[in-house]
Structure 1
């Protein structure tokens, strides 16, 4: 499950969500007995495009470490706002972020995703195809088999992909209109 913890609001004096004031999602996972606990945090903002380039959705993804006051950064990149692209966590590079590793396989299934050794593990974790802003998106999620021990593990990655997809529209310029299906929801709420 994903829960918005910092609203997507424009930075003072602008009509955009900026890196200095990002919106944020807390990705939750089952903790047993009907309770949920934090698994990861996703921050998103709108980055200005350079000369001739379009804007993009910037993002930073941290895996939360239980019982610690720090997080492990796993992804920090951007996706073109106009055409979309892939959100990916792939630590197969020679020097993946050099901020830690990624979870291995879940030793006890759901509720244990962030208890893996975080130092030496590398490999493909997940990717999600995301449409550009204003488009009705149905994200396609791919998850590395080593990272899924049960349905709840997979659900955490699906919630992360949904949060990235929703952030594409949440970080739209505030001077633009919402896409049609979100506008209907807003009209229903205002009644």
Structure 2
């Protein structure tokens, strides 16, 4: 019908058919077609031809699933066929005390990333702040963390978080073996989009040692608030800067996570490209990023809506970094 490759109208010239055996692509790269092909059947009197290359290559992935919604501090399972094995646990906190939202070591050394959060006077009125999530491995060691560094607040005269004043999260990874020493890995901004489709807008960027206060843009998109959607980073179609962080020269799928719409129970399925995981701590960073996309759906709810109790309670964070569960 011509509705492909950005073409909205046109005349159908012809069709080609290529037979593929996808089983081979799980083992090694395969080329199924490389050359000219006649458009249409042999009986048709046409001279139109198409030069077509069709190839596949292995793209192995780890598959994880949250055992519940991130704010309920769920277990995260690794899925291998019919086997579900617990590999991580999440600890969610809704402590509204800013001084305890991030580890002291990080707060003292990374003032630049905290400028919009700690450098302002206490906001008056409504705001959602202090949310944090910690990812632990099976031994109880923290392997990733994420904290809300800019509160989610409604724009003046509105009931929604606007694009001009988004809320923001910072994802942290351990810096060495101390549970009190962390370094930034990624920054996620989220807001509520206006328009014909009510959407969750988000922007994710990597934080590198050389990026100062400016990160490396990786992904920016909008997801339906009502239906949810798929959060995805793919180096084949997005920034190659991701290779800079993971020391991987190969392109390919990086991460994808399902997100349910507003008000629906979400147990996200997360897929992570194996070539981007050198240890389980790498996978934990993607797990925390997926949790933040889900939590942003709640943080960007209209302020006339009531949040579930797990997102409103203030928890005691005194033992959050000292005695991870």
With the shorter chain as reference, the TM-score category is 0.7 to 0.9
Q: Which residue pairs with 1:183 in the alignment?
A: 309
State the Cα distance separating 1:31 from its structure 2 match: 1.1
Correspondence for 1:110: none
State whether structure 2 residue 202 is matched by structure 1 residue 59: yes
Q: Which has the higher contact order (CA 8 A, sep 6+)?
A: 1
Whole-Å Cα distance in 2 between the matches of residues 90 and 64 of structure 1? 18
- TM-score normalised by length of structure 2: 0.49
Query: Any idea what SS the aligned residue of 2:157 has?
Result: coil
8 A Cα contact 1:101 1:122, kept in partner: no
Tell me, yes or no, if the aligned pair for 1:102 and 1:122 is still in contact at 8 Å.
Answer: no
> What's the offset of the Cα at 1:13?
1.2
CA deviation vs aligned residue, 1:49-104 (integer Å, no higher than 9, x gap): 31xx3x110000001111332321110001100010011111212xx35xx42137
Structure 1 distance, partners of 2:299, 2:250, is 33
Residue 83 of structure 2: aligned partner: none
Q: Does residue 150 in structure 1 map to residue 279 in structure 2?
A: yes
Task: Quote the residue 1:82 is aligned against.
Answer: 226
User: Following TM superposition, by how much is the alpha carbon of 1:137 offset from its aligned partner in structure 2, in angstroms?
Assistant: 1.2
The structure 2 residue matched to 1:32, chosen from 149, 154, 176, is 176
After superposition, where does 1:40-189 map in structure 2 within 5 Å?
40-50=186-196, 53=197, 55-69=198-212, 70-93=214-237, 96-97=238-239, 100-103=240-243, 114=245, 116=247, 122-178=251-307, 182-183=308-309, 186=312, 189=314
In structure 2, runs of 5+ residues without a counterpart are 1-144, 316-325
Distance 1:127 1:115, change over 3 A: closer
Question: How far off its partner does 1:9 sit?
Answer: 0.9
Measure the CA separation in 2 of the matches of 1:160 and 1:86.
13
Q: RMSD value over aligned CA atoms?
A: 2.0
Residue of structure 2 in register with 1:23 after alignment: 167
Distance, in Å, in 2 between the alignment partners of 1:64 and 1:185 is 27
- Measure the CA separation in 2 of the matches of 1:139 and 1:65: 27
SS state at 2:243 partner = coil
Deviations 1:142-190, CA, capped at 9 Å, x for gaps? 1111111111100000000001100001101111122xxx22553x549
Secondary structure of the residue aligned to 2:242 is coil
The equivalent residue for 1:108 is none
- Give structure 1 stretches of 5+ with no counterpart: 105-113
In structure 1, what is the Cα distance between the partners aligned to 2:310 and 2:170? 26
1:98-151 deviation line (CA, Å, top 9, x unaligned): xx42137xxxxxxxxx3637xx75321101100111122111111111111111
Distance 2:173 2:255 in 1: 17
Alignment coverage as a number of residue pairs: 168
139, 144, 157: which is aligned to 1:13? 157
For residues 71 and 129 of structure 1, the distance between their equivalents in structure 2, rounded to whole angstroms, comes to: 25
